[in-house]
Amino acid sequence: MKTKSFSDYKSDVANWITLVNGEYYPDILKDACTLYKPVLALFGQLVKSSESSSRLFFEITEIQETWMRVQLLRVFKRYVCPALPVEMTKRKTKAIEFEKKFANQFRPINEVQKAFDSRLPCDEAMCALLWEYKDRGKKGYDLTERFFELFRSSFAEFQIIGPERAGKDILMKEIFTDYPNPNRPVDFVIKDKNEILAVGLARYDSDRGGAQEDDRTGGYSNCANEFLGYAKKKGLNTKLIFINDGPGLLLGSMWNDYAALEKSWKGKIMVLTLRMVTERITKEWLTVKM
C-alpha cells in the first residue's frame, strides 16, 4: 500500500496536531514574582547608581551570572530600548557595537527611574512578561524527546543520535567531513551501523504566521536543496526528515508549503507531526535506494 503523503492529511489536519499544555494566568504570578523579584531589585539598584542609560546598559553587561544578566537585559529592553536584541548583546563586543548605534534611542535615565519607581517592588506585569521567556524552547525539547522515544520503540535495529532535549546541535561537518556548509546544524541523525540513513530537524510551532512562516519554510527549502544536492552528488541514499508540530501549522499556507517541500525531491523528504511518525516512517522508506 502506498504511504500517505503529508498533503493527504490536510482534510482532517486538526486531528494530526499535538498540543502541548501551557500555564494559566493569573496562576503563574506567585511563582513568577518569587523568581523575578531579585531581578527587579537589582535593576532598581543599577538604575539609581547609573548616571546615564548607556552606563546602566554596560553595568548590566558586566554581570557575570548569565541568567541574571539576560533577565536584566530583558527588563532594560522594556524600560529603556524596545529595539534591544537581547540575544545579540550576550557577547561583549556585540553589546558595544549595539550601544554605539542605538544609544540615541535610549530613554533618559531620569525618565527610566521615574517609570521604574511608579511600579510596585514586585511588578506583577513585568514578572509575567519575564515568565513568558522561562520555558521558551521547552515545547521544542519535548517534541524532540518524544520523537526519539517513538523512533526507538519502532526501530530497535537502528540508532538515533542527537540532543534529546537541550544540548548542542549536530553539525554537518561531524557527519560528512567534506560537507560544503560544515556548520549547518541538524537535530538528529539516524544510522544503521556506519550508514547514515537520515538526518532531520524538529520544531514546535505554537503560533507562527506571516514573515515567520516564510522564514521557516524558506529555511527548510534551502536546507533540503543544499543537503539533497550534496547527497545526490556523492551518490548517498540519505533521507531528510522534518518533524513539525503545533497549532502554528494551521496558520496561513504553512501546511501547503510543507506538502510542496515534501514532494520536491521525490521520496527523499518526509514532513511529519508526531502523530504521523509510526504510520509513515518505515524501514522500507529509510533503506530503499532512490
pLDDT in tens, 50-92: 999 999 999 999 999 989 999 999 999 999 999 888 877 767 7
Same domain, 123 and 160: no
Same domain, 33 and 149: no
- Domain assignment present for 247: yes
Domain count, the chain: 2
Among 95, 113, 134, residue at a domain's last position: 134
Q: What is the pLDDT of residues 189-219, one digit of tens each?
A: 999 999 999 999 998 887 655 445 556 678 8
- Domain assignment present for 12: no
Same domain, 102 and 185: no
Q: Report in angstroms the alpha-carbon separations of 6 from 49, 65, 143, 252, 272.
A: 58, 45, 18, 16, 7
- Phi-psi domain of 260 (left: phi exceeds 0; alpha: psi -120 through 50; beta: other): alpha
Same domain, 191 and 77: no
Among 134, 164, 181, residue at a domain's last position: 134
Burial 256-265 (b: 16+ CB within 10 A, else e): ebbbebbeeb
The whole-number pLDDT of residue 211 equals 45
Same domain, 220 and 155: yes
Collapsing DSSP states into helix, strand and coil, what is residue 64?
coil
Q: What is the pLDDT of residues 19-46, one digit of tens each?
A: 766 788 999 999 999 999 999 999 999 9
Q: What is the pLDDT of residues 84-127, one digit of tens each?
A: 888 777 677 788 888 998 899 999 999 999 999 999 989 999 99
pLDDT > 70 fraction of the chain, expressed in percent and rounded: 94
Collapsing DSSP states into helix, strand and coil, what is residue 18?
coil
Same domain, 152 and 246: yes
- Domain assignment present for 14: no
Same domain, 143 and 283: yes
- Domain assignment present for 16: no
Give the pLDDT band (50/70/90) at residue 241: very high
- Domain assignment present for 83: yes
Same domain, 283 and 234: yes
Spatial separation of the C-alpha atoms in residues 240 and 143, rounded to whole Å: 17
Same domain, 61 and 181: no
Taking each helix axis from N to C end, the angle separating 53-61 and 92-102, rounded to the nearest 10 degrees, works out to 170
Q: β-strands 195-204, 185-186: how paired?
A: unpaired
The whole-number pLDDT of residue 272 equals 94
Against a cut of 0.95, is the pTM above it? Answer: no
Same domain, 41 and 52: yes
The whole-number pLDDT of residue 2 equals 61
Burial 218-237 (b: 16+ CB within 10 A, else e): eebbebbeebbebbeeeeee
- Domain assignment present for 21: no
The whole-number pLDDT of residue 162 equals 94
- 68 is written with which cell numbers? 541574571
Q: Which residue has the higher pLDDT, 248 or 158?
A: 158
Identify whether the C-beta of residue 224 lies closer than 8 Å to the C-beta of residue 265: yes
The whole-number pLDDT of residue 1 equals 46
Taking the C-alpha atoms of 220, 11, 18 and 278 in order, what is their torsion angle to the nearest 10 degrees?
-80
Q: What is the pLDDT of residues 266-286, one digit of tens each?
A: 899 999 999 999 999 999 999
Other Cβ atoms closer than 10 A to 250: 15
Same domain, 109 and 163: no
Domain region containing 214? 137-287
- Domain assignment present for 10: no
Same domain, 100 and 241: no
